[in-house]
Amino acid sequence: MPTGSTIDQSRSVTWGANGTVTDLGPHSSANAINASGTVVGRQLGADNIDYTATSWSPDGTATAIGSAYEYTTAVAVNDAGVSVGYTGVKVPSDQHRFALLFEADGSLTELNVTPDGSNSYATSINNAGVAVGVRITFPTPGSSTRTAVIWRP
C-alpha cells in the first residue's frame, strides 16, 4: 500500500452463541447489535472514499441504509431494526454534521437539523423509538458547547 494511504483495512465479524463467526466484509465497522442479531455500523463504499451506514442481517448480508448522504454511520439499533447515527462531510474543517434516524424500511429522517451551523449526533435509541444524543454549537471560534438532546417519535 502506498505511503500515506487512508484506505481502511478493518473487517468486522460477529460471533454466534455457538461460536460461529460471521464475516461482515472488508472495510466495515460494526457499532451495535440488537436482540435478533441485526448489526449496524458503516462500510466503505465502492469509491473507496465515502462510508455508508450499513445494516447486516444475522447471516451477514449487508444493506446500505444511509446512501442518500455523502458520509453516514449508524451507531445504535433497537429491536425493531430502527437505528440512529449521523451524516456529514469528512473534512475536519467542515463543522456541519447532523443526526439521522434510519427506519427499518430504509427511509431516513433528519433529526434536529439547524441552520445555525450546529452539529448533532444521535448516540442511542430504545425500543420505544426514543433517541438520545448531543447537539454541539460553536458560540465563538475555537469554542464549543455540548447539550444533551432527546428525540421522541
**132 lies in some domain:** yes
Total-model pTM: 0.84
**9 lies in some domain:** no
- The pLDDT tens digits along the chain (153 residues) read 344 444 456 789 898 888 889 999 888 999 999 999 999 999 987 777 788 999 999 999 999 998 777 789 999 999 999 999 998 765 555 557 889 999 998 899 988 666 666 789 999 999 999 999 999 887 888 888 898 999 998
**122 lies in some domain:** yes
**17 lies in some domain:** no
pLDDT reported for residue 94? 58
Give dist(CA 110, CA 77) in Å, integer: 16
**81 lies in some domain:** yes
Give, in order, the Cα–Cα distances in Å from 65 to each of 15, 27, 32, 112, 128: 23, 16, 14, 19, 20
Give dist(CA 134, CA 100) in Å, integer: 12
Closest among 123, 126, 101, 97 to 111, alpha carbons compared: 101
Domain extent for 129: 22-151
> What domain count does the chain have?
1
**131 lies in some domain:** yes
